[in-house]
């Protein structure tokens, strides 16, 4: 019985539905004849069409790269002026040639400005000056009265050899009509390891209200460093 029904269905004519009428509009007829044009656009990052997913998978797959084949990293290059000079890992940043200070002690207060005009090489030249107020006389080198003072100092140094150095220092203090000048000469010589010979000679001139007095002193010392 079932076989007879199957044969009857296979032998039956194919039933087709009537094509709807579009009023003869050529545009509607063209769209109806090609259903692919009626497909909606897919705005998703993953469309439902398998052929799109397969194509994207093929194009997005990157080849495997061996890290050994990568080019070496470029070392950091410092700009001019950013390098730090050092020996044995110890850096030596440049120091300023100028110095400014305010000071006070039991006999004088004031300000001081200094500059190292020449400091590189065997010759050194330094200059400092400033203004202050002397609180008590005869406590250090200066005029013999209290009051406002002006002070200046000149330092000269010369290395004679690897073992000898000569220095000269000139100090000036002036105020209230008085002027004091001190000039000292010094010679330091390394005579033996840990032994040093120091010679010092100083001349003082004190001008007191038009008059003046001079004095001098010298010393020779042999010093051993421990």
pLDDT per position as a tens digit, 44-62 = 555 555 555 555 555 555 5
DSSP structure class, residue 20: P
Cα diameter, the chain? 157
Tracing tokens 């500059």 back to the chain, one arrives at 115
DSSP structure class, residue 217: E
Q: pLDDT digits over 125-174, tens only? A: 999 999 999 998 877 888 988 999 999 999 999 999 989 999 999 999 99
CA distance 42 to 155: 88
Band of pLDDT at residue 199, cut at 50, 70 and 90: very high
Tell me the CA distances in angstroms from 21 to 30, 69, 181, 211, 221, one per residue in order.
13, 67, 126, 136, 130
> Residue 180's pLDDT is what?
92
Residue 50, SS3?
helix
> Residue 225's pLDDT is what?
84
Top pLDDT among 53 and 217 is at: 217
Return the ∠ at Cα 207 (arms to 128 and 171), rounded to 5°.
Answer: 20
- Sign of the four-CA dihedral 81, 84, 116, 138: positive
Global pTM exceeds 0.85 = no
- Strand segments (E) across the chain: 86-87, 90-91, 98-104, 108-118, 123-134, 147-159, 164-175, 178-192, 195-207, 213-224
> Residue 14's pLDDT is what?
45
Give the up-direction half-sphere exposure of residue 68: CA atoms within 13 A in the CB hemisphere.
0
> Residue 34's pLDDT is what?
61
Top pLDDT among 163 and 82 is at: 163
Return the ∠ at Cα 162 (arms to 158 and 166), rounded to 5°.
Answer: 25
Burial class for 187, CB neighbours closer than 10 Å (0-12, 13-18, 19+): middle
């Amino acid at each position: 019985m079932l076989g007879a029904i199957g044969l009857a269905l296979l032998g039956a004519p194919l039933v087709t539905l009537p094509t709807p009428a579009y009023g003869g509009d050529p545009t509607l007829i063209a769209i109806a004849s090609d259903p692919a044009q009626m497909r909606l656009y897919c705005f998703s990052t993953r469309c439902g069409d398998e052929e799109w997913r397969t194509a994207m998978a093929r194009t997005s797959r990157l080849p495997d790269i061996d890290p050994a084949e990568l080019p070496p990293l470029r070392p950091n290059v410092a700009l001019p002026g950013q390098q730090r000079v050092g020996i044995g890992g110890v850096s030596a940043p440049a120091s300023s040639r100028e110095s400014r200070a305010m000071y006070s002690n039991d006999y004088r207060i004031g300000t001081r400005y200094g500059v190292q005009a020449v400091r590189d090489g065997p010759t050194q030249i330094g200059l400092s000056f400033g203004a202050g107020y002397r609180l008590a006389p005869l406590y250090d080198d200066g005029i013999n009265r209290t009051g406002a003072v002006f002070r200046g100092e000149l330092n000269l140094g010369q290395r004679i050899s690897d073992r000898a150095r000569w220095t000269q220092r000139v100090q000036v203090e002036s105020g209230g009509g008085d002027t004091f000048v001190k000039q000292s000469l010094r010679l330091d010589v390394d005579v033996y390891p840990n032994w040093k010979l120091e010679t010092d000679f100083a001349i003082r001139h004190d001008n007191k209200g038009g008059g003046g007095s001079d004095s001098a002193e010298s010393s020779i010392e042999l010093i051993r460093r421990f």
